[in-house]
Amino acid sequence: METAQERKTGGILGTIERVGNKLPHPFILFLYIIVILVAASAILAGMGVQVVNPTTQETVYVRNLLSRDGLVWLLENMIGNFSGFAPLGMVLAMQMAIGLAESVGLLSTVMRRAILGVPLWALSGTVMFLGINGSIASEASIIVVPALAATAFQAVGKHPLAGLIAGYAATNAGFTANVLITGTDALLCGVTEEAAHIIDPTATVSAASNWYFMIASTIILTFVGTFINDKVITPRLGQYKGGEQEQEREATGQEKRGLRNAGIFTLIFLVLLLVSVVPSNGILRGEDGSLLNSPFLAGIVPLLVIYFILVGIVYGKTVGTLKKASDVPVIMAQSLTSLTGYIVLVFVISQFIAMFNYTNLSMVIAVNGAAALQNAGFTGVPLLIGIVIMSAVVDLFMTSGSAKWYIFAPIFVPMLMLLGYSPAFAQAVYRIGDSIANPITPIYPYLPIVIGMAQKYDKNTGMGTIISMMLPYSMAFLVVWILQAVAWQVFNLPLGPDAMVFWP
């Protein structure tokens, strides 16, 4: 493996990269953070710091990790914190499935063939659009899209890191945008409606209440992200000289047969899904016939795992890269070897997140931050910007969007309703901040995965490299998304089929 050549390392982004890469190994860094957390919990608990949970109206105290209760809790839950870390199972399952498809040659062949139909100038835009809409597959897209984008970029002679970074930015900074209604919409709208009942018991918020706004967001962010990738990130990375440009090699006859059989399997798989989902009594619909709260959406990740494994087997058997059945588990096991470092890191990350939640410091930070914003007396555009910034800042410490909204919604929704804004608009503004900070927070559980992917193309890639290249996307998305929210406010455009900016 060679590293990138002619790479620019100057300017503020270069400084951020150098500083970030000089930080200790993430495992050691999280140990330091845990020590700070333990000390802070002891000090703040001793001071009697407390807040009122805006949802339950219960008083929440800071818990001391150095107390007997804290130590007992840690000993009783340490293994559970690790094994119960939600992203771990998904990452391992997806890596086994995608690793199989990659090892048998399917992904590289598909990318090589697919890019022939995409003009070179449209490649970045295609990655951005697909990545932003990848949230329909939940967080699985955060693993799938960057890996495929890197392969596609390398296949046409572009720097694979540019593709990987574009995919990571799209799936994270644009996570809450989509042209379709997703599980995120269904999850947030219930919290928003409950908070709106504080002011108006008859207020309703549906999963479609932000739909039009998010469709426009998807289109706008696609263009902005494409500009950042082509004009900022790609020139900064320079020319990549570490791999073969593959688009010149046509698929062999055997590979074409493999693609044909994989395509037939994919068609059959999609037909079976449609039969299970489209009819109102489909087996993958909810008990009430709903698609939003259905086994289909809840099972997106398992369905993807099953698909990648089976389509990989079909292709591998056709082209001969799979000789016998026992090759499948061997290849899947080998694909996990690249994640051993991630698994070790997850142990300490999972402890930090669980300990942070146990101390109630996340609640204290969020409630006090929201209260400070409320007491500042902002109205209009400054208030909207304040909510976005507050959401983004808290996202650096608490990456779960729904968990933050449970805290913020009972404060922000009534506050904005009293100022004449609809609950749906409060939710839309919150989602901006919740998205743009995802790719730049050091505690994001998928950051180590992306660093590992990037090191395949540049062994010197570190945390500073990724975060420095994410900043232009996050800052650009922040500005244009706020401008979009202001435009919706000025012209009172519909947020969705059942929601406007102003209330009632």
C-alpha–C-alpha distance, residues 453 and 268, integer Å: 31
Question: Quick check: helix, strand or coil at residue 502?
Answer: strand
| Pair type for strands 59-61 and 50-52 | antiparallel
Per-residue model confidence (pLDDT) at position 34: 92
Which one-letter DSSP state was computed for residue 92?
H
Q: Is the pLDDT of residue 166 over 60?
A: yes
List of residues 6+ apart from 458 with CB closer than 8 A: 3, 4, 161, 242, 465
Mean pLDDT score, 498-504: 89
Give me the chain's average pLDDT, please. 85
Per-residue model confidence (pLDDT) at position 33: 85
Share of the chain above pLDDT 70, in %: 90
pLDDT grade, residue 247 (50/70/90)?
very low
pLDDT grade, residue 87 (50/70/90)?
confident
| Environment class of 29 (CB within 10 Å of its CB; exposed 0-12, middle 13-18, buried 19+) | middle
Per-residue model confidence (pLDDT) at position 7: 55
DSSP line for 126-150: HHHHHHHGGGGGGGGHHHHHHHHHH
Total domain count for the chain? 1
Per-residue model confidence (pLDDT) at position 337: 87
Task: Report CA torsion sign: 265, 269, 271, 272.
Answer: positive
Taking Cα atoms as reference points, which of 315, 327, 339 lies closest to residue 90? 339
Per-residue CA distances from 421 to 27, 106, 199, 371, 382 (Å): 44, 50, 12, 18, 14
Share of the chain above pLDDT 90, in %: 37
pLDDT grade, residue 11 (50/70/90)?
low
List of residues 6+ apart from 392 with CB closer than 8 A: 433, 434, 436, 437, 478
Answer whether residue 499 is part of any domain: no
C-alpha–C-alpha distance, residues 1 and 354, integer Å: 38
Mean pLDDT score, 435-443: 85
Encode 275-284: b = buried (16+ Cβ within 10 Å), e = exposed.
ebbeeeebeb
Answer whether residue 460 is part of any domain: yes
The neighbour count for residue 11, using CB atoms within 10 Å, is: 11
Q: Is the pLDDT of residue 141 over 60?
A: yes
Taking Cα atoms as reference points, which of 29, 95, 48, 55 lies closest to residue 366? 55
C-alpha–C-alpha distance, residues 16 and 51, integer Å: 35
C-alpha–C-alpha distance, residues 67 and 55, integer Å: 27
Separation of first and last alpha carbons in the chain: 61
Token digits for 310?
A: 């089976």
Q: How far is Cα of residue 170 from the mean position of the Cα atoms in its chain?
A: 8
Mean pLDDT score, 328-345: 88
List of residues 6+ apart from 29 with CB closer than 8 A: 23, 442
pLDDT grade, residue 210 (50/70/90)?
very high
C-alpha–C-alpha distance, residues 308 and 151, integer Å: 17
Token digits for 193?
A: 């409606």
**Per DSSP, what are the bridge partners of residue 421?**
502
**Per DSSP, what are the bridge partners of residue 51?**
60
Answer whether residue 496 is part of any domain: no
Taking Cα atoms as reference points, which of 110, 94, 105 lies closest to residue 313? 105
Q: pLDDT of 267-293, one tens digit each?
A: 999 999 999 988 888 899 888 877 766
pLDDT grade, residue 20 (50/70/90)?
low
Q: Is the pLDDT of residue 1 over 60?
A: no
List of residues 6+ apart from 434 with CB closer than 8 A: 175, 176, 391, 392, 395, 401, 404, 405
Question: Quick check: helix, strand or coil at residue 421?
Answer: strand
Q: Which residue has the tokens 């990738």?
A: 229
Q: pLDDT of 22-56, one tens digit each?
A: 777 778 888 988 999 999 999 999 999 998 877 67
Mean pLDDT score, 468-482: 94
Mean pLDDT score, 460-479: 91
Mean pLDDT score, 229-246: 78
List of residues 6+ apart from 67 with CB closer than 8 A: 42, 45
pLDDT grade, residue 201 (50/70/90)?
confident
Answer whether residue 5 is part of any domain: no
Per-residue model confidence (pLDDT) at position 16: 65
pLDDT higher at 401 or 469:
469
Q: Which residue has the tokens 């979009």?
A: 484
Question: Quick check: helix, strand or coil at residue 50?
Answer: strand
**Per DSSP, what are the bridge partners of residue 59?**
52
Answer whether residue 370 is part of any domain: yes
Q: pLDDT of 120-131, one tens digit each?
A: 788 899 999 988
DSSP line for 57-78: --EEEPPPTTSHHHHHHHHHHH
Q: Is the pLDDT of residue 243 over 70?
A: no
Q: Is the pLDDT of residue 478 over 50?
A: yes
C-alpha–C-alpha distance, residues 325 and 322, integer Å: 7
pLDDT higher at 117 or 478:
478
Q: Supply the Cα-derived Rg of the chain in whole angstroms.
A: 23
Parent domain of 295: 11-491
AA identity, residue 36: I
Per-residue model confidence (pLDDT) at position 9: 58
Q: Which residue has the tokens 């990138």?
A: 4
pLDDT higher at 24 or 308:
308
Per-residue model confidence (pLDDT) at position 4: 43
**Per DSSP, what are the bridge partners of residue 184?**
none
Mean pLDDT score, 78-105: 86
Per-residue model confidence (pLDDT) at position 3: 45
Mean pLDDT score, 89-97: 84
